[in-house]
Structure 1
Amino acid sequence: MPPYEDWNKIDEEEDEELQDASIYEMKRDVILFCIDCSESMLKLYDDPKYEDVQTCHLYTALEAAMQIQKKKIIVGPNDSVGILLFNTTRKSETTRTQGSEIKRNTFLFQPISPLSASTVQEVIQLLDAAREEPGELRKTFPPLTTGRVPMGDVFTSCNWVLRDGAPKTASKRVFLITDEDDPHPAAGSKQLITSARTTLIDLTQAGVAVEPFFISTEEKPFDVSNFYSSVLLPTNLGDEDELQEESSVLPESISISRIEDLLSQMRFHEVPKRSLFSIPFKLGDGFTIGIKGYGLVTEQKKGSYKYFVDLGDRMEVATVRTSYVDEDRQADIDKTKIVYGADLGAGGIADGDEDNEESSGTFGARVVKAGSRPFYTAEEIRSFRTLGLEPGIRLLGFKDRSELRFEDNVKHSQFIYPDEMSYSGSKRTFSALLQTMVKKGKIAIALALTRRNASPVFCALLPQEERNDETGWADPAGFHLIPLPFADDIRMAPIDEAFRASDELKASARAWIDKLVVKNGAYPPDSYPNPALAYHNAQLQASAFREQYDPDSFEDLTEPKVGSMHKRAGKLMKEWKTAIAEDDSASLVIPATTGSKRKADVSVDEAEIKSKYDSGALAKLRVDQLKEFLKSKGQNISGKKAELVERVSDWFDAH
């Protein structure tokens, strides 16, 4: 049974007013590409894709930034991107209004601004020139030959650039790309490390996440422990003192063994980790921590379209506005005066009955007489739905992990993580609760209300420890928030006993299945985009940049590689099919069970058909009704619907 009827559904615009403004945080994404422009990044080497062509690390980094910008124009037109180069002697132009306080030997190539085709074309033209003349990037961005820019100054410049250009409610990230693992090898490096870590903390406290992309080659391997493991902040749950003592490689550091992998790695990080909600987690009376919730399973859809007005010389975006109009007065109605009522049929307020109208609750007293329709304000409907609760999660108790069954997960779960910015100490308390529940094999039962206009639901909190595998994918530490079903949400499915395969058939099937398992046993969804969505975005991208699109060049990554599959396990699959055909159960015939289907009622009154004939609406009748009428009159019932309608019309004309 649905939790409320149609009358209890508030319009989307009204729904936005009732929701907490915190759910609109992180709606926009801002990425600042912070690219090293040192001598090693500009060193030319042979391009692995094209013959007789030379390239450099800076060219590949700028190309990756350009590809991300081109894609975001389609999938995230409201996002913003900027490019900051450091370790270059090129000075910032005085005409630029953003990032005017950036440090010396850092150059703001593109300030933070909404995505547009012109800004992307600027990078494309630079890359085309660098492709024709490999030394073009060195001329455009001359590298710093004496020393290097302190990383503290780099983080400070990033902070200023984002402060000037990024919206306050956006998710702000810095993509740091460099191939230098020890930027401060000289004396005084300890002080520079402390300065870099301090400025990075200031950057993160401003809501900015730094995601590094470290370039490592055979000639110049990248060692994170030389500098960045002491500067970049780890994100795993635990005690801060213990984390500082750990010398392991940071979980978020990305070591790229081949520069060609830079773009493919960025594709996994280009989608921001937007939180669905940020609410308090009440562990007891007066004991509250902050958490953020994330959706682990989300379908990526086409972007929403907009309405444009053709003004002759230009196209302007039309602003959509919803207004409620009184038909009698032809005037806009204040939304605060609109009330909601259930559709109870012909009852309700009688015309001219002012006393009854007053008692119904539209104004005056809120007493509803028998037979009258009750009305409710938007605030009252919200109180019905939320039961008067404020958004948050309240811990009710604990159960053994075995109490949580497979069929209890009837909806997509959400993942919660501590929010240190809301309540100090949330991370440490959250970690202690998580580790204790894992150690004792418990799950938690909680009452959750994730936003103001939602309904509270009972949920199970399933703890998850942090795990790393060989593929580099990590399961973060946190809780899965699983909505628990009501009793009528679960129905017992009928169990039909079927024939069981023999052990020989199972072994034969397992032989070819083992040959076709996914590589490394992991399935990264970002590596297999939706082909329909990717094809649509590719055409939009070509149209936006006035490029000719070749449909034959589109590659569907979800198509199975039939050739390699048959090469690996073709012989084993043939043996399995032969074994199935020779099995005794293959010759058994199971009678199909079909239910009795009730025939549709085709009876129709002649007076009704006559009324349809008089109003010219015979085409609204079904074909079976037309045939039934013609059959009763002894007429021919063959032919299409248009012929049947004409035949019925001719009969009424003659009679």
Structure 2
Amino acid sequence: MPPYDDWNKIDDEEDEELQDASHLETKKDVILFCIDCSESMLELYPDPIYENVQTCHAYAALDAAMQIQKKKVIVGPNDAVGILLFNTTRKVETSRNQGSEIKKNCFVYQPIAPLSAPKIQELIQLLDAFREDPEELKNNFPPMADGKRVPMGDVFTSCNWVLRDGAPKTASKRVFLITDADDPHAGPGSKQLVTSARTTLIDLTQAGVTVEPFFISTKEKPFDMSKFYSSVLLPNNLVDEDDIDEDDPSVLPESISISRIEDLLAQMRFHEVPKRAQFSIPFELADGFTIGVKGYGLVTEQKKGAYKYFVDLGERMEVATVRTSYVDEDRQAEVNKPKMVYGMEVGGAGDDDGAGTRVVQPGQRPFYTADEIRSFRTLGLEPSLKLLGFKDRSELLFEDNIKHSLFIYPDELTYSGSKRTFSALLKSMLKKKKMGVVLSLTRRNASPTFCALVPQEEKADEGGWTDPAGFHLIPLPFADDIRAAPVENGCRASEGVKDAARAWIDKLSVKNGAYPPDSYPNPALAFHNAQLQATAFGEEFDPEAFEDLTEPKVDMIHKRAGKLLEAWKIAVANDENAVSAAPAEKAPAKGTKRKADVDVSEAEIMSRYAEGLLNKLTVEQLKNFLKSKGKPYSGKKADLIERVEDYLGSQ
């Protein structure tokens, strides 16, 4: 029987059970880097970081692919990565098993395969060779002459075949498209090529593949998305398909315009983690009126990878499969899990052989099935969202946000018309400045929660969509989740102190008001991953060379705001509010000890006497009672109890 504190808990795998989770079983991530190798991508220019070194856009793209693979070896060893190059005349090698389906002038440099150190080292050797000879990439992957280009429809078709042959069916599949050509099909016949590209892209997305473009834009050659890609790439925002204007570039999905090529890796790392839905449930707007939504976690803690057990089979090592089973000690046989019941473990009844048993009174239910335990927790509800009503946005207070929120988005595949209805509800709530109140149950083994449904308007900048349109699902606290702070007296700083503080805060603020989380990784996790990476690639790891980017740069802080900090401290010391609010210091008493509070009331003594529990009192308490009654109070505890009993018995 499960212990007392675990009697009403179901197994972890059942706790994570989701509604309609068939499409969420994508534990593996597959990325295909689709890199343009045209003349402009291979054109050399001075490296912005290193002196007297030349580089090119194709090198930066391959280097970013290498860095992503090295990182995934540690954080996602089960994932798969491939590299497809297009606009190159390199011939297809049959040894790479590319087959005849890969279109002409497309070359698979790395087929889709699980991550491995030898494959990454091969790419590192290619990049090192380019550093020694800048013509290395052009010699290995010669571009098409006279500015000719592969039709983008052929590129998407080749991507589809590469992913079809190498990617698992249940994996999340993505294509990172990297190019600097904003109009690859300029000239006659462009309209047919645009139609072909859009058709093949639809085939690619219907196969479960997401295309994430990375457009390289420079001052000499700005990238104009309206020339070609705005009419080819599918819209990913909340816009009705009937309202799409082919000449309007605003329907472009999430795309990255790389104004500086050195930002390519940073942008790729941001898009590296696949957007996996945490749940997919129905959203009931009214009786008989339901749409489908998906929920995403915007903030997730990155942790160390789980350890695995390996079995030494002599010639090879294999991962051991871990399975939990329950065994009946009396029968020495495995218990059928569906027949298990749950109950609280209590003290034994009867002799010692009956320890762990109890007497069940008629009409009582001591044990419950797993379904009954789940019904206690879920109140018999199925995973869903139910709209209860609307409130003004102003009624949502800051202290109401006690847990991290989730972000919900429409799921058109579950309920047809969800996207259109979701968009209409969002626009109406934004217009009226309202928020929704919903009853939320996101998992089968969770508890129902009241949540605030806060709409978010879509905001865009030059680099693509930054804030997508959707709803934030904020769990609302119950009455006992928020307590008043035990503050009796408070004080506020004067305007002079505020101005002095504002001066040094402005000097030390993050640039552009944005915090880049990738620039400050968790030092413990980064140190752990660096050791694993060195081990995987056979490199030496120097602990002294590890840099903790989260350590404050004290010298820089003092240089920028040292004098301002000193002025602020002086202003605080001279502020009357701060001086008056400071508690008066008391000199600590030396050589004194606090005496324990042993006094008890006479009523409590009489109550203990009536219950026969005088032995529960301490010797000091018994002595104080006898002393107050003028009775002798010397001797052992048994003598003291006898005198108290004699006194109270004579009253």
TM score, norm. by length of structure 2: 0.83
Match of 1:477 in 2: 469
Q: In 2, distance between residues paired with 1:272 and 1:66? A: 18
| CA contact 1:181–1:223 (8 Å) conserved in 2 | yes
Give deviations 1:97-134, integer Å, cap 9, x for gaps: 46652222111111212111122122112222222232
The match for 1:237 is: 238
Aligned to 2:168: 167
Structure 2 unmatched ranges of 5 or more: 599-651
Does residue 1:68 correspond to 2:60, yes or no? no
Larger relative contact order (Cα-Cα within 8 Å, sequence gap ≥ 6): 2
Mapped contact 1:347–1:373 kept (Cα < 8 A): no
In structure 2, relative to structure 1, the CA distance for the partners of 1:582 and 1:171 (3 Å cut) is same
Partner of 1:461: 453
Q: Would the aligned equivalents of 2:435 and 2:453 in 1 still touch at CA under 8 Å?
A: yes
Q: What pairs up with 1:182-197 in 2 under 5 angstroms?
A: 182-197=183-198
Q: Pairwise CA RMSD of aligned residues?
A: 3.0
Structure 1 residues 17 and 424: CA distance shift in structure 2, 3 A? closer
Local SS of the residue matching 1:110: strand
Cα offset for 1:592? Answer: 6.9
- Aligned: 1:272 with 2:274: yes
Question: Could you tell me how far apart the structure 1 residues matched to 2:228 and 2:374 are?
Answer: 53
Q: Alpha-carbon deviation of 1:415? A: 0.7
Residues 458-497 of structure 1 deviation map (CA, whole Å, 9 limit, x = unaligned): 2111111112468977222111111122222222222232
Query: Could you tell me which residue of structure 1 aligns to residue 83 of structure 2?
Result: 83
Q: Offset at 1:392? A: 1.3
Deviation of 1:157 (Å): 1.3
Which residue in the other structure is 1:49 paired with? 49
Is 2:528 the counterpart of 1:527? no
Q: CA deviation at 1:566?
A: 3.0
Matches within 5 A, 1:286-297: 286-297=288-299
Q: In the aligned structure 1, how far is the partner of 2:373 from the partner of 2:44?
A: 67
Corresponding residue SS for 1:198: helix
Provide the secondary structure at the position in 1 that maps to 2:408. Answer: strand
**Deviation readout 1:524-577 (Å, 9 max, x if unpaired):** 323322122112111211111011223343333323333333333322222222
1:416 and 2:411 aligned: no
SS at match of 1:390: coil
- In the TM superposition, what are the counterparts of 1:624-635 in structure 2 within 5 Å? none
Q: What CA distance in whole angstroms lies between the structure 2 residues aligned with 1:15 and 1:461? A: 24
1:335 pairs with one of 334, 337, 361: 337
**Distance verdict in 2 for CA 1:348–1:512, change over 3 Å:** farther
Provide the C-alpha distance between the structure 2 equivalents of 1:180 and 1:470, rounded to a whole number of angstroms: 17
Task: Please give the secondary structure, in 2, of the residue aligned with 1:482.
Answer: strand
After superposition, the C-alpha distances for 1:202-239 in whole angstroms (9 at most, x for unaligned) are: 22222221111111233333222221122112322122
CA spacing shift, 1:24–1:255, aligned 2, 3 Å: closer
The residue that corresponds to 1:299 in the other structure is 301
Structure 1 pair 597/101, CA: closer, same or farther in 2 (3 Å)? farther
Q: Residue in 1 aligned with 2:214? A: 213
- Kindly indicate whether the alpha-carbon contact (under 8 Å) linking 1:99 and 1:157 is maintained by their aligned counterparts in 2: no
Output the amino acid matched with 1:583: D
Instruction: State the Cα deviation string for residues 492-531 of structure 1 (Å, max 9, x = none).
Output: 2222323322222222222222222221112232332212
What is the CA–CA distance in structure 1 between the aligned matches of 2:351 and 2:240, rounded to whole Å? Answer: 65
| SS of structure 1 residue aligned to 2:403 | coil
Pick closer, same or farther for the CA change 1:144–1:326 going to 2, 3 Å. same
Secondary structure of residue in 1 paired with 2:376: helix
Would the aligned equivalents of 1:61 and 1:177 in 2 still touch at CA under 8 Å?
Answer: yes
TM value normalised by structure 1 = 0.83
What is the letter of the counterpart of residue 583 of structure 2? I
Q: How many residues align?
A: 586
- 2:380 match: 388
Name 1:631's counterpart in structure 2.
Answer: none
1:558 equivalent among 544, 550, 553: 550
One-letter identity of the residue aligned with 2:61: A
Task: Give secondary structure in 1 for the equivalent of 2:285.
Answer: strand
Residue 43 of structure 1 deviates from its aligned partner by 2.0
Inter-partner Cα distance in structure 1 for 2:271 and 2:161: 23
1:569 equivalent in structure 2: 561
Contact 2:456 2:469 in 1 (8 A): yes
Pair 19,195 (structure 1): closer, same or farther in 2 beyond 3 Å? closer
Q: For 1:289 and 1:100, how far apart are their aligned partners in 2? A: 44
Aligned equivalents of 2:18, 2:473: Cα separation in 1 = 24
Aligned pairs for 1:210-609 (under 5 A) are 210-244=211-245, 247-248=248-249, 250=252, 252-346=254-348, 369-370=361-362, 374-468=366-460, 474-585=466-577, 587=579, 590-591=583-584
- Between 1:101-110 and 1:426-435, the stretch displaced more is 101-110
Task: Identify the range of structure 1 (6-15 vs 114-123) with the bigger mean alpha-carbon deviation.
Answer: 6-15
Q: Which moved more, 1:503-512 or 1:424-433?
A: 503-512
Partner SS state of residue 244, structure 2? helix
User: Is the 2:17–2:444 contact (alpha carbons within 8 Å) kept by the matching residues of 1?
Assistant: no
Structure 1 residue 174, shift from structure 2 partner: 0.7
Quick check: 1:41–1:56 contact (8 Å CA) kept in 2?
A: yes
CA drift at 1:303: 0.8
Q: Which moved more, 1:196-205 or 1:60-69?
A: 196-205
| Segment of structure 1 superposing worse, 286-295 or 10-19 | 10-19
For residues 595 and 232 of structure 2, the distance between their equivalents in structure 1, rounded to whole angstroms, comes to 74
Aligned to 1:244, the other structure's residue is in SS state: coil
Seen in structure 2, the aligned counterparts of structure 1 residues 273 and 16 have a Cα distance that, compared at 3 Å, is closer
Q: Which residue of 2 aligns with 1:621?
A: none
Residues 379 and 511 of structure 1: CA distance in aligned 2, closer, same or farther (over 3 Å):
same
Deviation at 1:254, TM superposition (A): 1.6
The residue identity in structure 2 corresponding to 1:346 is G
- Which segment drifts farther, 288-297 or 52-61? 52-61
Rounded to whole Å, the distance in 1 between the matches of 2:365 and 2:554 is: 64
Task: List per-residue Cα deviations over 1:436-460 (Å, max 9, x = no partner).
Answer: 1111121111111112222222211
CA contact (8 A) 2:309 2:319 kept: yes
Are the structure 2 counterparts of residues 587 and 422 from structure 1 closer, same or farther at C-alpha, using a change threshold of 3 Å? closer
- TM-aligned CA deviation for residue 300 of structure 1: 0.8
Match of 2:35 in 1: 35
- Summarize the Cα distance change of 1:246–1:442 in structure 2 as closer, same or farther, 3 Å threshold: farther
- Give 1:108's aligned amino acid: V
Q: Does the C-alpha gap of structure 1 residues 19 and 464 become closer, same or farther in structure 2, counting only changes over 3 Å?
A: closer
- Structure-2 residue corresponding to 1:92: 92
What's the counterpart of residue 123 of structure 2? Answer: 123
Q: Give me the whole-angstrom Cα distance separating, in 2, the residues matched to 1:333 and 1:18.
A: 26
Partner residue in 2 for 1:632: none
Farther-moved stretch of structure 1 (478-487 vs 463-472):
463-472
Work out the CA distance in 2 between the residues paired with 1:133 and 1:379.
Answer: 68
In the TM superposition, residue 378 of structure 1 has moved relative to its aligned partner by 1.8
Deviations 1:155-180 (A, max 9, x none): 11112222222222322111001111
Query: In the alignment, what sits opposite 1:178?
Result: 179
State how far apart, in whole Å, the 2-side matches of 1:599 and 1:25 are: 61
Whole-angstrom distance in 2 between the partners of 1:35 and 1:130 = 17
Counterpart contact for 1:23–1:276, Cα < 8 Å: no
Instruction: Say if 1:60 and 1:259, in contact at 8 Å, map to a contact too.
Output: yes
Aligned to 1:622: none
Which one-letter code corresponds to 1:47 in the other structure? D
AA of the residue aligned to 2:244? L
Q: Is the 8 A contact 2:17 2:443 kept in 1?
A: no
